[in-house]
Amino acid sequence: MKKKSGFSIHTLGCKLNFSESSYISSQLIQSGFYLSDDPDLIIINSCAVTAAAVKKTRNLTSKLHHQHPEAQIFIIGCYSELEPQTALQWKGVVQTFGTKDKINLIKYLKQSTIPEAPYFYSTYSLTDRTRSFLKIQDGCDYHCSYCTVARARGESRSDSIENVIQNIQTIANQGIKEVNLTGVNVGDFGRNHGTSLYNLLLKIEELQLIDRVRISSIEPNLLSKEIVDLIAQSQHLMPHFHLPLQSGSDTILSEMKRRYNTKMFADKVHYIKEKMPDSCIAVDVITGFPGETDLLFNETLNFIEQLPISYLHVFTYSQRPGTPAAIAPHQVEATVKKERTKQLLDLSKKKKKQFYQSQLNKTRPVLFEEINHNNTTLGFTDNYVRVKTAYSDDKVNQIIETLITKDMLVYDDPDS
């Protein structure tokens, strides 16, 4: 594509995709392309983690083609890694780039050639005034029986500590106050370099380059006590954890090929709370995995009920082609999965209310972020309680010690 063209970019799925989309967008703009509401080219950064995510990708492609019939559409990311030929059959789609070579979309648009993809490329977002998502790791060597991510993203690989530190410095120089370290399996960071996530966090803590650092979802078996201890005594590493549980039944965890059991998971949660009683712990869980009987689901429900967690991210199991679980016997009926999902969502609301109310009348540092239509400023405490207060321009992108009162709490899930 020789001429400089207007483009739009649309992102589905995880924060890692968001980080990569932001980077691609900024690089295209630096190369002379420009964002446009009437684009010549459309980029869709796809997700394939569930059947619903694939449907969203397909529907978005159809919608955008209908709105801009002359535009060239590029599907990048996980779906185009798994099903490139299928995506190429969709109307308007001219090229696909998988997860390993999506970064080469920029060079392709400038030169109409596709060079070899780098082993690892770092990205970060700069579209939010107050926080950035920084990719430090990609790929996964875990092959859970329900998941296509290991195939879509490839082997586990990560950035160097030196480059992560340099990127954080660049982000901080933009006036951004918070960075979220993200990846497919963040806890595996550094293994290909002979280092570790703990070593990275220790260096970040020593240098104090930015006010706040959060860790995205981390596998329970990779969350070490030394990481928890470091966060507990830190002023810069936030007391906020996101742990994938997936099931509270050891029988189901075994069938999922997960690398921990409920005892290990519970021990991690209790250790976090012992060191940081006010910490936020978000937990992922999947309902309706093949073979999940009423009895086994109730094990999950009871297990989570007894844990001192803050809220849940609930996913309804969907069959992903090419995974062992897709052809496993005893698939759970859709109506049963829907009811179980509802029960866990209800439990999540209960847990979040308990956690939020436990923070009442406490003073926490709040990073204020934005204004909504009611002229209020929204923000997050260090332990990820969402709050609101009357808008004041001097509060935006500032960290302010704030007394948390009942009327400040915002219960809706910003990640949903």
Closest to 26 (Cα-Cα) out of 139, 150, 154, 170: 170
Average pLDDT estimate for 48-74: 94
Question: With 90 as the cut, is the pLDDT of residue 121 above it?
Answer: no
CA-CA distance, 285 to 353, in Å (whole number)? Answer: 19
Which tens digits make up the pLDDT trace of 243-267? 999 999 999 999 999 999 999 999 9
pLDDT class of 3 with cuts at 50, 70, 90: low
User: What is the predicted pLDDT for the residue at 115?
Assistant: 60
CA separation, residue 202 to residues 232, 240, 364 (Å): 12, 17, 24
Which tens digits make up the pLDDT trace of 281-293? 999 999 999 999 9
CA-CA distance, 371 to 384, in Å (whole number)? Answer: 18
Query: Both tokens of residue 339?
Result: 């009811």
Average pLDDT estimate for 394-398: 91
